[in-house]
């Protein structure tokens, strides 16, 4: 069966609250859906959801590049194997637009599997498996962050990830201490994400303070691109470090190997929309595991279309530790979906249906 038509649809996601990060506050997010048709029927959908201020692609060029992709996809045979889908995606996706690459891969895999939002046929999609996730605490006032912490703990999360670096460091320490005073590291796993907020000269001291709280890890303590400084920190740190923004823009396998060999982090964070899709994410994992570097996946504030694909990929890869896949409930106007959260786990609720797009 051939792809007879392809189209794009722009959607602006509206946050339920002002989501604070060390790079600023998010109120809305643009995303684009790539739709594939065969014989006048929608058979595949993927999401290109770059994040302003973080993604490499220029948002004002997204629709132009997606239209070009649509033109190239029309008339092609729907793939019959994952590797074939990857080959097509590689051939039609523009350089420098990793989220488009992810959208094409996802749409093709969906079409290959019958247009049922099925990307990987795993126990997760079958409603038989739940994936542990971390509860995300956004930056804001001390009261707002305390409120979020209480809500996550009350909701049954046993892994909490707190964004730090936007308010006073001592206040952030107190917030983390307030959790540790009630729960040991055996009861609640604590992660922090600095989004590059620390200065290299102060980072090791701050990591030492954070390490006293039995944290699991810290994501991106200093800005990306400071390879020597990050390598020093990863060598000396009393707290495991996970690279995030440092992976952006690196797509060649040799460069991926070089980066991880130079820095030797304890973990890497994988965001398929940011890293160039599913195939690229799998390559990062293979390289990291060969160096005994741990990893977990995180969504990049996609709608439930992109989140669905990442959850299914996580299930396909048989993840065990908590993943960063709890962002589907952030928006007023997300696409209704079977993806649900309960007791700190995400699952595919077979009693729920997908909403229209």
Residues designated as active site:
163, 271
What's the rounded Cα separation, in Å, for the pair 10 and 279? Answer: 25
C-alpha angle with apex 338: 124 to 87, nearest 5 degrees? Answer: 60
User: Are 281 and 89 in contact, with CB atoms under 8 Å apart?
Assistant: no
**CB-based contacts of 206-209 (< 8 A; 24+ apart in sequence):** 206/169, 207/233, 207/237, 207/238, 207/239, 207/241, 208/238, 208/239, 209/169, 209/173
What's the rounded Cα separation, in Å, for the pair 155 and 19? Answer: 20
Q: Sort residue 140 into left (φ over 0), alpha (ψ -120 to 50) or beta.
A: left
Tell how strand 241-243 and strand 159-163 pair up. unpaired
What is the DSSP code string of 257-285?
Answer: HHHHHHH--SEEEE-HHHHTSHHHHHHHH
Nearest to 346 by CA among 121, 124, 192, 122: 124
φ, ψ for residue 231, nearest 5 deg: -60, -40
User: Are 78 and 134 in contact, with CB atoms under 8 Å apart?
Assistant: no
């Amino acid at each position: 069966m051939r792809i007879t038509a392809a189209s794009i649809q722009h959607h602006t996601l509206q946050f339920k609250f002002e989501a604070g990060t060390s790079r600023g506050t998010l109120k809305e997010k643009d995303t684009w859906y790539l739709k594939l048709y065969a014989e006048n029927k929608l058979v595949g959908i993927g999401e290109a959801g770059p994040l302003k201020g973080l993604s490499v692609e220029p948002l004002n060029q997204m629709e132009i590049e997606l239209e070009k992709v649509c033109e190239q996809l029309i008339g092609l045979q729907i793939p019959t194997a994952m590797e074939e889908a990857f080959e097509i995606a590689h051939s039609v996706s523009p350089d420098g637009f990793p989220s488009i690459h992810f959208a094409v891969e996802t749409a093709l895999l969906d079409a290959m599997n019958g247009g049922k939002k099925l990307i990987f046929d795993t126990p997760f999609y079958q409603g038989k498996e739940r994936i542990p996730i971390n509860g995300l605490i956004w930056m804001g006032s001390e009261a707002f962050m305390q409120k979020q912490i209480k809500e996550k703990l009350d909701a049954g999360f046993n892994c909490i990830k707190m964004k730090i670096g936007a308010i006073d460091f001592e206040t952030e320490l107190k917030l983390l201490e307030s959790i540790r005073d009630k729960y040991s590291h055996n009861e609640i796993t604590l992660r922090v994400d600095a989004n590059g907020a620390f200065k290299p000269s102060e980072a090791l001291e701050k990591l030492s303070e954070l390490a006293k709280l039995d944290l699991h890890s810290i994501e991106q303590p200093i800005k990306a691109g400071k390879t020597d400084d990050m390598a020093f920190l990863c060598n000396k740190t009393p707290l495991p470090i996970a690279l995030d923004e440092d992976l952006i823009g690196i797509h060649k396998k040799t460069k991926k190997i070089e980066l991880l060999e130079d820095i030797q982090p304890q973990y890497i964070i994988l965001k398929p929309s940011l890293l160039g899709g599913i195939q690229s994410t799998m390559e990062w994992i293979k390289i990291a595991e060969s160096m005994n570097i741990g990893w977990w996946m995180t969504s990049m504030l996609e709608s439930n279309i992109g989140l669905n694909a990442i959850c299914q990929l996580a299930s396909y890869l048989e993840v065990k530790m908590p993943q960063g896949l709890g962002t589907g409930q952030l928006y007023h106007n997300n696409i209704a979906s079977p993806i649900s959260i309960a007791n700190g786990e995400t699952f595919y609720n077979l009693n729920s249906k997908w909403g229209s797009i």
